A and B are shown apart, each in its own frame.
Chain A
Amino acid sequence: MRASALLLILFSSLLAHAKPVHINVWHQMIYGHRQVLAEALKKFEKENPDITVQATYRETEELRSSYQSAAMGGAGPELVYGPSDQIGPFATMGIIRPLDTVLEKADFSALDPLATPEFMNQHYMVGDGVGNHLMLIYNKKLIQTPPKNTDELIEMGRRLTIDQNGDGKVDQWGLVFNYTEPFFFAPFISAFGDDFIKNDSVPNLNTPALRSTFQFILDMRDKYKIIPKECDYETANALFKGNKAAMLINGDWSWGDYKEAKVDFGIARIPMISSTGRWPSPLVGTKGYSLNVNMKSPEHLAAAIKLLKFLTSESTQLLFAEKVGILPSNLNARNSEIVKNNPLLKISSSVMEVGHPMPIAPEIRAIWDSLRTQYQKVLAGSATPELAAKSAQEVAEKQIHEMNEVLEPTGGALVLKILFAIILICVAWLSRKSFAAFVNGFQGPQKFAYYMMLPAFLGIFAVIVYPFFYNIAISFSNFSLRTFQDWSIVGFQHYAEALTDPRFYSLFLKTVIWTVVNVVFHVSIGVFLAIIINQVMPAKGFWRALLIIPWAVPQYITALTWRALFNQEYGPINIFLQQFMHLSPVQWLSQPFTAFAACVITNVWLGFPFMMIVALGGLQSIPHSLYEAAVLDGANAWQRFRHITWPLLLPVMVPAALLGSIWTFNNLNVIWLVSNSGEPGDQTHILVSYVYKAAFNLYRYGYAAAVSVLIFLILVVWGLSSLKAQYRKETQ
């Protein structure tokens, strides 16, 4: 008996060796940190030969949305790593597991409390370090001692903002940072006297503190001129790395980058606000691991916990501290020589003393979002600090309300269900003959056609038809943040809300303008170039190939490239305008109108080649004899175009323009990437990008689905009526 049990154990352990447990980890670590992670995982796999680990990098936002959909599909990685503010939404959706049942009390008490944040009285994350906080980083070549207060900061900033070659443009900045992003300016708010969030989840934005902070940033930009006019994270980073900025506000994650770029830098607290005598208070948080609620088996759970413990263990934390300078959350690790002798970490922990913990409730997302939009309006000059603070509060409250809303089924739900049943019965009844005919068709005289159609039919059904109906179901449901796991059909509320919202109509108008402007440019440039190539140019093939280039480059590359071209300080477009046209630089991406124009220019660039090719084809099918006859009759160039080219080109261009309009109307890529998801202040959105934001940023899946059904209906009605008009014209 005992022998057989032993044999069984032996056998099962052999099996275990044959098929190791495979664990997935999703993380959002930056490049340098990923290499340390890989090293740690290699060690783990060596110690645990029965477990294999796969680490996958995802950009923060993307990690959030892919994890949500993965967990909803009942799958996803066993471990997910990210900043602590993702706990709120994930725990609310019920897609991460409380850790209190799987870990010991001692596991938590070994760590800094900041690294084991509690949400709804439960632990959902174990952090492998603390920090993630902002500080002043300064270039030691340019500054000996960092400024202590803002008076010194401004004085130093002015001294160090220099036009070195006398061309009227600044070559070295006093201070740079990603000041358009609220996370980077949040530390100042409390230094001006008030917190921007109360009780961890209530927005507190309509305050004198927020107004003064807005004004302070504006002053640094416009009055003292010590920060660049347009400065995103990339710009700030590159300027500092290139020794073209004396000071920078950035977080502890960036040190590795600057070390690698061989910048001799020091760190300090963000200078005290002279007028209030208070220190700016950066948000201090953790990044850590959470467990998926969906595990394939108990073995997976056990392996995932083992890995979680390993990744947050003292030895792994020390590895990260040593290689990339993360302040360990493990209290033993923090007392080690590696940490104690690291001057950066020493100052970093002194910076943390004035910080406060990162809020993690899901509401924080709505607060950031409203703060961002209003703040960007202030920067663009389209709102005063007073107005912006007031609207920020209102928008935040509204978004929090929408996000947390759980719609209850109304009478509409019953109506819908009955309606659906009736439609189903009617369709079944009416199509019973068609269906029978369809099935019989596979044996009938037309069977060749049926078999030719079948594969495409199946593909389209799986990829387009089924998801489409699924979406319609969601649009009638209360699917959102708080009903993530069990949503139900509730009725027409989302449609009613969308159709009574003035914003829907203004976005619709903007989408129409976007579509018309784009298609007009696409078609007119396309036809114009086609005529020139066809009539005048030698080597037609060469020009055709040259002008086709924008079409051939993948859209996501194009969009990001144009974003760089439009940069106010370093974008070639502005440099060209200044050097050759002697114009003042245009604030392309920070003003609503020009940002929208930038999107249009990008999209025109993308779209004209298609129309040009279609027009070329059309032109080549026009018989040359017609023109010869017209010349004999004495028609001039315009008359020839008006009476021959245009009418004969029309039947070719109309279907192309129709298709082009549909594509443009639904073009998310360009708006989303060029305007960096609707900047400034959500004012560049068209309907599709607005839908995308509602669904993936604010968790309002039901509402987003309803709006996308409305978009669909608009296009169907418009498309059909213009097809009909075209048809009528042709048959006349």
Chain B
Amino acid sequence: MLKKIFAWASILLFSAFSLYPILYVISVSLRSDNAFQTQSLEIISASSNFKNFSSLFFETDFLLWLRNSLLISAVTTFAGVVLASTSAYALSRYRFRGRNTMLFSLLVSQMFPATMLMLPFYIILSKLHLIDSFLGLFVIYSSTALPFCIWQMKAYYDTIPRELEEAALLDGCSKWMIFTKIILPVSSPALVITALFSFMNSWSEYVIAAVVLQDPALYTLPLGLRSFQASLATQWGLYAAGALIVSVPALILFISISRYLVSGLTMGSVKG
């Protein structure tokens, strides 16, 4: 009994801990700018209203940013899943020259401070005339999440018994068919995670986008939100309302696939 009380108490405490900042953002998004500083802990007060949301949608380019972000994230998620699933399969099933070097460098690449890669990025992109185009972002976003995703996928593939493929090979399936018809369908938890990571990588990325995209018509959501945040006069209400809307798709995605996350993130390491 005591154990149960303790368990409930701690889970409620942590739920509050994880929820409160979100509630706070909601609260700020419902206040007018002048009431940003308040000493009450109320989430919704008498003066709360949806003005920030309506001006977000009707007076700013929010919908344009949303469209750009959705486009970029969709493409990079797709590219990320394709790249990670194919290359991880090769790394899991084949022993070829350079395999170990590849696996090792994937891991090591995570260890370099990412911000320092900005300058060379920029120089490459401007040489290739990819500034102010989504193409450059597609390449960067889908590749930067790759090391983690490839490791993740490889660990998962390693747990799939080889007998499955051998049987199919006897039946005359091509290698590509084995991969697409047999391996991919049973790897859905790992694929979902790869998709999630690629999505998050582009959905909330700000620093690279700020350098690559200069035309406001191409802005993504993080860039758009930042423009409410002038150096000396942030429009907190608008910012909070925007931040909330940016978080919603990610939240829905996370919550709806949390089941896959559990098996996908650990499957490889348990057995491998």
- List A residues at the B interface (Cβ < 8 Å): 24, 26, 28, 30-31, 54-62, 66, 69-70, 72-75, 77, 169, 171, 233-235, 237-239, 241-242, 244, 251, 253-254, 257, 261, 434, 437-438, 441, 446, 448-450, 452-453, 455-457, 459-460, 462-468, 470-471, 474, 525, 528-529, 532-533, 535-537, 541, 543-558, 561-562, 564-565, 569-570, 572, 575-576, 579, 605, 609, 613-614, 616-618, 620-621, 637, 651-652, 655-656, 659, 662-663, 666, 668, 687-688, 691-692, 695, 701, 704-705, 708, 711-712, 715-716, 719
- Is the pair A605, B17 in contact by a Cβ cutoff of 8 Å? yes
Output the nearest chain A residue to B211 by Cβ-Cβ distance. Answer: A66
Q: How far is the CB of B42 from chain A (nearest CB, A)?
A: 10
> How long is the Cα–Cα vector from A719 to B131 in the complex, in angstroms?
36
Q: How far is the CB of A161 from chain B (nearest CB, A)?
A: 15
- Is the pair B147, A609 in contact by a Cβ cutoff of 8 Å? no
Query: Residue B111 contacts which of A474, A532, A575, A712 (CB distance < 8 angstroms)?
Result: A712
> How long is the Cα–Cα vector from A609 to B4 in the complex, in angstroms?
22
B56, CB-defined interface residue at 8 Å? no
Q: What residues of chain B lie closer than 8 Å to A692, measured between beta carbons?
A: 115
Q: How far is the CB of B253 from chain A (nearest CB, A)?
A: 7
- Is the pair A464, B144 in contact by a Cβ cutoff of 8 Å? yes
- Is the pair B94, A59 in contact by a Cβ cutoff of 8 Å? no
Query: Residue A62 contacts which of B14, B83, B114, B210 (CB distance < 8 angstroms)?
Result: B210
Q: What residues of chain A lie closer than 8 Å to B21, measured between beta carbons?
A: 550, 553, 558, 561-562, 565, 605
Query: Residue A617 contacts which of B131, B236, B265 (CB distance < 8 angstroms)?
Result: B265
- Is the pair A460, B106 in contact by a Cβ cutoff of 8 Å? yes
- Is the pair B147, A460 in contact by a Cβ cutoff of 8 Å? yes
Q: How far is the CB of B28 from chain A (nearest CB, A)?
A: 7
> How long is the Cα–Cα vector from A569 to B38 in the complex, in angstroms?
9
A-B contact pairs, 26 of them (CB 8 A): A28-B230, A31-B230, A59-B231, A69-B119, A73-B122, A75-B126, A238-B34, A453-B87, A460-B143, A463-B144, A464-B147, A468-B117, A470-B120, A529-B11, A547-B14, A547-B18, A554-B203, A570-B39, A572-B24, A609-B18, A620-B263, A663-B110, A668-B113, A668-B115, A711-B112, A719-B108
* Tier of interface size on chain B: 35 or more
Give the secondary structure class of B's interface. helix
Q: What residues of chain B lie closer than 8 Å to A468, measured between beta carbons?
A: 109, 112, 117
Q: What residues of chain A lie closer than 8 Å to B116, measured between beta carbons?
A: 471, 691, 695, 704-705, 708
> How long is the Cα–Cα vector from A552 to B261 in the complex, in angstroms?
12
> How long is the Cα–Cα vector from A546 to B210 in the complex, in angstroms?
32
Q: What residues of chain B lie closer than 8 Å to A56, measured between beta carbons?
A: 214-216
- Is the pair A570, B230 in contact by a Cβ cutoff of 8 Å? no
Query: Using a Cβ cutoff of 8 Å, how many contacts connect chains A and B?
Result: 338
- Is the pair A456, B146 in contact by a Cβ cutoff of 8 Å? yes
Q: What residues of chain A lie closer than 8 Å to B25, measured between beta carbons?
A: 557, 561
Q: What residues of chain B lie closer than 8 Å to A69, measured between beta carbons?
A: 118-119, 122-123, 211
B124, CB-defined interface residue at 8 Å? yes
Q: What residues of chain A lie closer than 8 Å to B181, measured between beta carbons?
A: none
- List B residues at the A interface (Cβ < 8 Å): 3-4, 7-8, 10-11, 14-15, 17-22, 24-25, 28, 33-41, 82-84, 86-87, 89-91, 93-94, 96-98, 102, 105-127, 131, 139-140, 142-144, 146-148, 150, 175-176, 179, 200, 203-204, 206, 210-211, 214-216, 222, 226-236, 243, 246-247, 250-251, 253-255, 258-259, 261-267, 269-270
Query: Residue B250 contacts which of A554, A579, A621 (CB distance < 8 angstroms)?
Result: A554
Query: Residue B204 contacts which of A58, A556, A613, A715 (CB distance < 8 angstroms)?
Result: A556
Given contacts A452-B87, A551-B254, A552-B253, contact A75 B102 (CB under 8 A): no
Q: What residues of chain A lie closer than 8 Å to B210, measured between beta carbons?
A: 58, 62, 66
- Is the pair A463, B139 in contact by a Cβ cutoff of 8 Å? yes
Q: Which 8 A-B pairs have the closest CB atoms?
A: A617-B266, A554-B204, A73-B126, A467-B120, A459-B143, A449-B94, A456-B87, A715-B111
Query: Residue A31 contacts which of B40, B91, B235, B247 (CB distance < 8 angstroms)?
Result: B235
List 6 other contacts, CB 8 Å, given A532-B11, A613-B261.
A73-B123, A169-B39, A446-B96, A460-B109, A546-B19, A613-B258
> How long is the Cα–Cα vector from A549 to B16 in the complex, in angstroms?
11
- Is the pair A621, B124 in contact by a Cβ cutoff of 8 Å? no
- Is the pair A464, B107 in contact by a Cβ cutoff of 8 Å? no
Q: How far is the CB of A431 from chain B (nearest CB, A)?
A: 10
- Is the pair B83, A459 in contact by a Cβ cutoff of 8 Å? yes
- Is the pair A528, B10 in contact by a Cβ cutoff of 8 Å? yes
